[in-house]
Amino acid sequence: MVEALKKNGKISRKGPVVLVIMDGVGFGKYKEGDAVAAAMTKHLDKLYEKYPWTKLKAHGLAVGLPSDADMGNSEVGHNAMGCGRVFAQGAALVSQSINSGKMFEGETWKNLVANVKKTGGTLHFIGLLSDGNVHSHIDHLKAMIREAKKEGVRKVRVHALLDGRDVGEMSALEYFDPFEEFLRSLNDDTFDARIASGGGRMVITMDRYNANWDMVRKGWETHVLGEGRQFASAHEAIETLRNETGAIDQDLPPFVIAENGKPVGTIEDGDSVILFNFRGDRALEITKAFEADTLTEFDRKRHPKVEYAGMMEYDGDLHVPRQYLVSPPSIDRVMAEYLCATGVRQFSISETQKFGHVTYFFNGNRTGKFDDKLEEYVEIPSDIVPFEQRPWMKCAEIADRVIKEVESGKWDFIKLNFPNGDMVGHTGVFEAVVCSMEAMDLQIGRIWDAVSAAGGIMVVTADHGNADDMYEHAKDGSVKTKADGEPKSKTSHSLNPVPCIICDDNYNGEYSKTLKEGLGISSIATTCMTLLGYVPPEDYDPSIVTLN
């Protein structure tokens, strides 16, 4: 339990404080490929002209990642904004656990290894094969395979998902080919390690927020049952499917590696399985498929009895999975809990694709509300279509509901997430991202009209960059091109800073209009608390706003 916040005695508004999170919208480093700058955003442009704003760090050390070379992501970004401090995050914690040897001394690792040594079964690894460091890192996988061989495991199979989202859109073979060589270097008379299956991360296995369980079904049939189109190697599968479909890596169909018509790595009774992704949102559904006694979302056909573990605990409240290798950051005393203790009425909304970010992640990886009487969560169901085909997504529906709630006068604090910049940004389709920015801009204009009329304050920010950096650039800043001369699309997040605009038509000199610079997005929590009229906790990161 936390104590109620004290009033700062400076700021008081008739209307609510509304936090608008433009997911994946930063300030581009390059003119070419910056879909945010290329879009016609007259409403945002007016906000920048009229109200104070600053740039915030949203990557690397500012959000708890190992180094400033690491791109921020929605999970750690919303963690930081919601808890007002920076905690060491998944990638850093896993690396520390491996480097110290703590992972391999833990009970979970020992259970999984002992199981396959006892049964003569296979140790399986499922996850994203890249160094994107958002959901996983290939070095973590390599370290676990080396340790497995060292400890006497005889057979390893890897079910490798293609990334093309946190790394280059067509970079899969840059990871798969060296990784297969790595496995060959380990193989001998006592050890047999191979890639067994794969597919694009946006086609199989890695669904989130119950948006499309058919992805999980396809993953189950591919990894567990070995059902699907067969190839002699991952390299052959990737090249063939690329040529046939024209798809980028994240959208590549599933494949199964086979010999003499038989899959090389189905998952059977007595095996051990590790989901080596450390990020939780896209790990929960495949985890449920392994752990649930009964599953209504799809027919598993066969449910092998295995020792299953995740890289981390993906849901700390529900304790999912039952076994995990590395403990997640223990994030406590988040902003929503303080606001509930203070009696602040709160409304949170997004569409399915980012609903968990303004709830679960914003609340420090916690499921559920702190106070049912003071909080309301609304999820607008996302369309199940490729985002580039409907780049406006559900931003109008989100805005409709937010305006209704602002006008109702029921809430003191409203937070919302527009997913467009991130979800459409990941498609790599520049024109679609421009469209998504313009659609979002229209809705921000509508929301601001309502907030201003209600006598409230609107804070506009983002969790990381993406839409601002849609082309791959060389070290000299030039755009990389494909064989046909077209720019090479970039589908990953950027390292760019993000905005924070304080829109307040009832400003009366209570705070300095010169906002602090050099801060990270963890300062959003204290900023919102300050604008709500309260004194933030002493150990929270400083507010962007300085009271006069």
User: Which residues carry out catalysis?
Assistant: 74
Task: Report the relative pairing of strands 498-504 and 53-56 from DSSP bridges.
Answer: antiparallel
Contacts with 19 (C-beta within 8 Å, 6 or more apart), sequence order: 413, 414, 415, 416, 459, 461, 524, 528
Chain centroid to CA 390 = 21
DSSP annotation of 348: E
Alpha-helical regions (H) of 319-394? 335-341, 352-355
d(CA 506, CA 109) in angstroms, rounded, equals 58
From first CA to last CA, the distance across the chain in angstroms is 31
| HEC per residue, 212-237 | CHHHHHHHHHHHCCCCCCEECCHHHH
DSSP annotation of 427: G
User: Does residue 172 contact residue 164 with C-beta atoms inside 8 Å?
Assistant: yes
Question: For residue 328, is the peptide bond before it cis, meaning its omega torsion is within 30 degrees of 0?
Answer: no
d(CA 173, CA 426) in angstroms, rounded, equals 19
d(CA 396, CA 523) in angstroms, rounded, equals 28
Nearest residue to 281 (alpha-carbon basis) of 181, 338, 206: 206
User: Does residue 125 contact residue 196 with C-beta atoms inside 8 Å?
Assistant: no
Q: Which residues of 412-425 are buried (b: 16+ CB within 10 A; e: fewer)?
A: bbbbbbbbbbbbbb
